[in-house]
Amino acid sequence: MAKESMKARERKRERMVARYAKKREELTKILKSTDASDEVQAAKWDAMMAIQKLPANSSKIRVHNRCGLTGRPRGYMRQFGISRVTFREMALSGKIPGVKKASW
């Protein structure tokens, strides 16, 4: 089980990513423009500085996937939203239909 403080930190990061997503998207769109004029280069520089001033935890890279039941950060299976350990336990007890035990 993950500590409650770790889960709370992840929820806080998710909220921060949602809050700054639109602003970050607009700034990256400016950075990816292909125009080479001086005005565009100055705008790119300003956009780069603005992105650096945003909180680090507002980047979606900082959010970890965690098991929905245990909060375990490793061995996360996106299709089910749980960790591999929880998946095994649930499959073995018959809570996930259609899963046959092979050599796991």
What value does the mean pLDDT take over residues 62-66? 89
How far is Cα 94 from Cα 20, in angstroms, rounded to an integer?
Answer: 42
103 pLDDT above the threshold of 70: no
CATH fold for domain 65-104: 30s Ribosomal Protein S14; Chain N (4.10.830)
Neighbours of 16 (CB within 10 A): 19
Residues 6 or more apart whose CB falls under 8 angstroms from that of 24 comprise 51, 54, 58, 59
Tokens linked to 6: 């770790």
What value does the mean pLDDT take over residues 87-96? 90
Determine the residue type at 88: R
Could you give the C-alpha distances from 15 to 19, 47, 82, 85, 96, in angstroms and in order? 6, 23, 21, 27, 31
For the chain, give the percent of residues with pLDDT over 70. Answer: 96
Helical H runs in 1-104? 4-31, 38-53, 84-93
- What is the chain's alpha carbon radius of gyration, rounded to the nearest angstrom? 20
55: helix, strand or coil: coil
Name the pLDDT band for 71 (thresholds 50, 70, 90).
confident
